[in-house]
Amino acid sequence: MFVGLASGTTLCTLEDIADGSAKEFSCSVGDEIYNIFLQRKGDDVFAFNNACPHTGAPLNMEQGQFMEKSGTYLMCHTHGALFQLDDGLCVAGPCNGEFLEPFDVIVKDENVIVV
């Protein structure tokens, strides 16, 4: 799905993302194209550019699967880097201390909206 990331844009509903899973989008920001993902955990949704700070590779290998088995951290499936869900900080792996590029979204009235 291709969407713009203008403030106020509704990307999807909370119900569109199964708890613990993610939904992927291709987005335009100015002249740049990003592949972002929305990771749901409970009633919260976190949005990041799908590019590992180590090599720029996509984090996931299977569609919608970005979390490691325990459901605590996002994981890059290429070399196993682990990232905090709330801020994208890498806490283990070859890019330890670097961040995923975040995008600000909120959940309002069951809709996931670009801030």
Q: Evaluate whether 105 touches 11 at the Cβ level (below 8 Å).
A: yes
Nearer to ligand FES, 5 or 100 (CB): 100
Determine the interface stretch with ligand FES among 2-10, 27-35, 92-100, 101-109 (rule: CB under 6 A).
Answer: 92-100
Q: Restricting to residues 51-70, name those near ligand FES by CB under 6 A.
A: 52, 54-55, 57
35 binds ligand FES (CB under 6 A): no
The residue count for binding ligand FES (CB under 6 A) is 11
Q: Which residues is 12 bridged to in the sheet?
A: 112
Tokens (6 digits) for 72: 């605590």
Contact between 78 and ligand FES per CB under 6 A: yes
Provide, rounded to whole angstroms, the least separation between the CB of residue 93 and ligand FES: 5
- CB–CB of 61/50 below 8 Å? no
CA dist 63 and 21 (Å) reads 9
Q: Measured between alpha carbons, how far is 61 from 98 in angstroms, rounded to an integer?
A: 21
Two tokens, residue 4: 């713009």
Q: Which residues bind ligand FES (CB under 6 A)?
A: 52, 54-55, 57, 76, 78-79, 81, 93-95
